[in-house]
A and B are shown apart, each in its own frame.
Chain A
Amino acid sequence: MKKQIPILLAVIASLCPVIAFFLPQRWINDWMNQRLDEWMVIIASFALLLGIVSMVQTNIHKIRRRARGWGFSIVILISFVIMTSFGLFGGQGAREDGSLYPFTWVFQYAFSPLQSTMFSLLAFYVASASYRAFRVRNVEATLLLIGALIIMFGRIPLGKLIHPLVPQVAEWIMQFPNTAAQRGIIIGAALGAAAMSIRVMVGIERPYMGKS
């Protein structure tokens, strides 16, 4: 029973959107599609509590054990308490005089810049990854390098100065070989996802129950 009920629930929950996709009746869409989405949101909200408990426990254990980088755990816990207090008791958005409440201020002037910093690091990582990928080691890597050079030059005005055909060749590579390869991967992945979903729907694979 402990095994059958979760499988039954999973089968019903996974079949509902499929039925709603094919049958247009309003009650099906209202009940079996939208209602399930609402339940998902509610469950996810409660699951967040689990996540918070896990985060607090893990960091407290790290501090107790004096694990490597335990100082960062103190910063996390202090930040968590401060932001939770600001969020619960300090208000959000802007005051009538235009000044920001502490929660929004920290979000806007500390969190957002930190996010942007992480994102902008990508530029340097792309450079280092490209350097490694384009090193001429074998025939495939050489072809990759040539293709990349054509596309890079084809996308800037210098490419047209080198030869008027360079932008056209770059466009051809992007439109045909590149799109064909991408579509091959996408079709394979979509079928793989469909087969995986069928296995989950009929209970052959049950990762949601801790059974791999």
Chain B
Amino acid sequence: MRILILGAALALLAATVTAAQDDQTLQSPETGLTDRSGRAGPDPAPAELVIEDIRLGLKVVDTPSDGGTSLTLTWRPDPSAGELPDVPGAGLRMPLEILRRGPDETEFVNVGRATLRDGEFVDAGLEPGLGYSYRLGISGAAGQQHVSPASAPVVPVGNAFRLHRLNALVAVLLMGGFVVAFIMAARRGADLYIRRISGLDALDEAVGRATEMGRKILYVPGIISVNEPQTLASLGILGYVAKLTARYGTELEVPNIDPLTMAAAREIVKQSYMEAGAPEAFNEDMVHYITQDQFAYAAAVNGIMVRDKPAANFLIGWFAAESLLLSETGQSIGAIQIAGTAQVTQLPFFVSACDYTMLGEELFAASAYLSKDPLILGSIKGQDMMKAAILIAIVVGVVMATLGVNGFVDWFAAV
């Protein structure tokens, strides 16, 4: 009987020890990490599954100038001997797992990856006001996981202003100040000079040529919607061209790739015809929609060019690969072509295929140039002053960088 009782007690003790070991295998209370290998059966030694042997000096701080939704982790990207476990793939490109434990969580979970040489990781999408702890992890052989000691919980805090964008704010205020100052000067009657822009001077010539030849004018306002400043600038020029066509009784066609642009263009052309005293000459088919597909649009506009042979083509706005398709087709039918875009990659095509090309800022100056409105002229002068300020900043930056003083250049680099 004693032997039986002793045997039962030993069996119970053995079962208890085994159960305790099983628990430790699944979750190490010391590290808070779980074995995610999913293996069943006899447990390996629990202490070997999660090893706290990464010593990269992990620091967790609140990310500055954010809305309180992120924390920034930093570590030494150039560890000394013994600060990293001896695992395969050790080196600067070694992948590190970012392990996070939230406020009401008992376990660390993988929330991202970085490499050793990154030295930094920003964990975004956090809840402001709650504390988060972190570890760095490296997966070793046979399901082992090496981790760094857990950081103390850090709370992300919201900031009122993105301080690193102070440079942009200064630029915006400076530009706004210049524009407002020159608009006020223009209101007081100051004489503001604007240089000749041959592409805009040629608008009257092109409309006159089409009128004499009795052929239509084709106006293409680019391929982007009205949220693009180039499209808005193009619509301003369209208004001027439409007034001329209304005055001379010349046919105008404006094919559109974007329905919103079409709606705005239609209103502008209608308004121009009314202002020119020829509302009866306007019809809605003058400004029409074709398709939103870039090359289908280019094919349709090329078709209009080849069939109707317009005397003048205006290609003004935001263009991409279709710029050359359109301008070369226009060239082949002998139309006078005036182009304008701020797309640097498309300018060479327009320059080689068109008679006149408005380069970059000339396009945006068109409304001031054509309307002679002192308010708009004032804004152009303000823009010129800002350009002068940027030129001065470039010269100062070059001199300071040459002298080895990088603070000035660095201030402009961060946005």
Taking Cβ atoms with an 8 Å cutoff, the residues of A that contact B are: 18, 21-26, 29, 40, 43-44, 47-52, 54-55, 57-58, 61, 68-69, 72, 114-115, 118-119, 121-122, 125-126, 128-130, 132-133, 182, 185-189, 191-200, 204-205, 207-212
User: Cβ of A195 and Cβ of B325 under 8 Å apart?
Assistant: no
User: Cβ of B325 and Cβ of A125 under 8 Å apart?
Assistant: yes
Query: What would 10 more interface pairs be, CB under 8 Å, given A55-B291, A198-B179?
Result: A23-B160, A24-B66, A47-B259, A115-B293, A115-B296, A133-B351, A192-B363, A193-B229, A196-B232, A212-B238
1/0 per residue B252-269: CB within 8 Å of A? 000010111011101110
CB distance from B227 to the nearest CB of A (A): 7
User: Cβ of B264 and Cβ of A208 under 8 Å apart?
Assistant: yes
- Give the most central of A22, A40, A186: most B CB within 10 Å: A22
User: Cβ of A51 and Cβ of B160 under 8 Å apart?
Assistant: no
1/0 per residue B364-401: CB within 8 Å of A? 11010001010110011011001100100000000000
Residues in B with CB closer than 8 Å to A187 are: 387, 390
- Give the most central of B225, B236, B373, B386: most A CB within 10 Å: B236
Taking Cβ atoms with an 8 Å cutoff, the residues of B that contact A are: 65-69, 128, 158-162, 165, 168-169, 172, 175-176, 179, 183, 225-227, 229-230, 232-233, 235-240, 256, 258-260, 262-264, 266-268, 270-272, 284-285, 288-293, 295-296, 298-299, 303, 307-308, 321, 324-325, 327-328, 331, 342, 344, 347-349, 351-353, 359-361, 363-365, 367, 371, 373, 375-376, 379-380, 382-383, 386-387, 390
- Given A122-B321, A125-B325: A192 in contact with B264 (beta carbons within 8 A): no
Residues in A with CB closer than 8 Å to B361 are: 188-189, 191-192
A38–B225 alpha-carbon span in the complex (Å): 16
User: Cβ of B239 and Cβ of A195 under 8 Å apart?
Assistant: no
Residues in B with CB closer than 8 Å to A22 are: 161-162, 165, 168-169
A48–B376 alpha-carbon span in the complex (Å): 32
Name A27's closest neighbour in chain B (CB-CB).
Answer: B67
Residues in A with CB closer than 8 Å to B227 are: 40
User: Cβ of A192 and Cβ of B365 under 8 Å apart?
Assistant: yes
Name A191's closest neighbour in chain B (CB-CB).
Answer: B383
Name B263's closest neighbour in chain A (CB-CB).
Answer: A50
Name B288's closest neighbour in chain A (CB-CB).
Answer: A58
Residues in B with CB closer than 8 Å to A132 are: 331, 352-353
CB distance from B388 to the nearest CB of A (A): 10
CB distance from B322 to the nearest CB of A (A): 8
Q: Is chain A's binding surface mostly helix, strand, loop or mixed?
A: helix
User: Cβ of A129 and Cβ of B352 under 8 Å apart?
Assistant: yes
Residues in B with CB closer than 8 Å to A194 are: 175, 383, 386
User: Cβ of B225 and Cβ of A44 under 8 Å apart?
Assistant: yes
Residues in B with CB closer than 8 Å to A43 are: 260
CB distance from B61 to the nearest CB of A (A): 16
Residues in B with CB closer than 8 Å to A133 are: 348, 351-352
Q: Could you list 16 examples of A-B contacts with CB < 8 Å?
A: A25-B67, A55-B289, A115-B296, A118-B296, A122-B321, A125-B325, A129-B352, A187-B387, A188-B361, A195-B179, A198-B179, A200-B229, A205-B367, A205-B376, A208-B264, A211-B268
Name A18's closest neighbour in chain B (CB-CB).
Answer: B172
- Give the most central of A22, A191, A207: most B CB within 10 Å: A207
CB distance from B356 to the nearest CB of A (A): 15
CB distance from A12 to the nearest CB of B (A): 15
User: Cβ of A68 and Cβ of B307 under 8 Å apart?
Assistant: yes
Residues in B with CB closer than 8 Å to A61 are: 285
A-B residue pairs, 4 tightest by C-beta? A212-B239, A210-B267, A192-B364, A51-B259
A186–B344 alpha-carbon span in the complex (Å): 7
User: Cβ of B296 and Cβ of A55 under 8 Å apart?
Assistant: no
- Given A26-B67, A68-B308: A125 in contact with B328 (beta carbons within 8 A): yes
Name B328's closest neighbour in chain A (CB-CB).
Answer: A125
Name B253's closest neighbour in chain A (CB-CB).
Answer: A58
User: Cβ of B176 and Cβ of A198 under 8 Å apart?
Assistant: yes
One of B236, B288, B321, B353 near A119 (C-beta < 8 A) = B321
Name A24's closest neighbour in chain B (CB-CB).
Answer: B67
A182–B346 alpha-carbon span in the complex (Å): 12
Name A201's closest neighbour in chain B (CB-CB).
Answer: B176
- Given A24-B67, A68-B307, A191-B387: A122 in contact with B324 (beta carbons within 8 A): yes
User: Cβ of B360 and Cβ of A192 under 8 Å apart?
Assistant: yes
User: Cβ of A21 and Cβ of B168 under 8 Å apart?
Assistant: yes
User: Cβ of B380 and Cβ of A195 under 8 Å apart?
Assistant: yes
Residues in B with CB closer than 8 Å to A126 are: 324
User: Cβ of A189 and Cβ of B342 under 8 Å apart?
Assistant: yes
CB distance from B14 to the nearest CB of A (A): 56
Residues in B with CB closer than 8 Å to A186 are: 344, 360
A53–B209 alpha-carbon span in the complex (Å): 33
User: Cβ of B324 and Cβ of A125 under 8 Å apart?
Assistant: yes
A130–B259 alpha-carbon span in the complex (Å): 34
